[in-house]
Amino acid sequence: MKKYDYFLFDLDGTLLETEELILECFKHSLKLVYNLKVPDEKLVNKIGLPLKDQVKLICLENQLREIPFAEFQAIHMNHQLKIWRKFIKLFPQVRETLTQLQEKNKKLAIVTSRKMPTTELYLKHTKIFDFFPVIITPEKTTQHKPKAEPALKAMEEMKAKKARTLFIGDSIYDMQCAKESGIDSYLIRWNESWNDHKKVIYPTNYQEKNLTKVLQFI
């Protein structure tokens, strides 16, 4: 069994259950701005991209004229900050898994498409912020997932070796980011029905239904 010393974690859908929150925010924003209702599956398959890229794709698919992104972002995030406490929680065994990795002196980082203010807010709320001395958000890179730059930036800050680094995520964008970075990846399949529905072929080294299996690599 291959061993790793550096572990990069996506945030939304990997460590935190945020899918319902994200969907609620999109439904609110799209209704308010465009009077548009988009099926959940058309929104879910964009989770993992930066918000700006998600909005661009939604507008393209529905032949909508994009409003200035700052305006949409303000509506979307203001609503999120009103309702997030009802939704944010850790997936099962997340804190216990991170604790065991830390106890084995493994180096941990967050690589997320979520911007820093809510990334920090949600990590602190769920009491896992201190596990991650390195946090890469879209403000820190020019290119974002699925491009390699976010993972490469995390590895640079960690002084990590590619051969000893594993990227753990739940979306195709995480797996593509890992592949472009030249590192191994671990697809977490918390929601089996969602992954099956998309019928996506993931370029990944490992696929698991829970996070604790990552401990086999230490």
Which are the catalytic amino acids?
10
Distance, CA of 170 to CA of 41 (rounded, Å)? 15
Enter the tokens of residue 45: 């398959």
Backbone angles phi, psi at 186, to 5 degrees: -130, 110
Tell me the two tokens of residue 98.
């991170």
Residue pair 33/136 in contact by the 8 Å Cβ criterion: no
CA distance 141 to 21: 25
Distances (CA, A) of 175 to 52, 72, 178, 187, 205: 20, 28, 5, 7, 9
Q: Which amino acid is at 135?
A: I
CB 175 within 8 A of CB 203: yes
Burial 172-188 (b: 16+ CB within 10 A, else e): bbbbbbbbbbebbbbbb
Cβ neighbour number for residue 121 with a 10 Å cutoff: 15
Structure tokens belonging to residue 119 = 């990334």
Q: Is 126 helix (H, G, I), strand (E, B) or coil?
A: coil
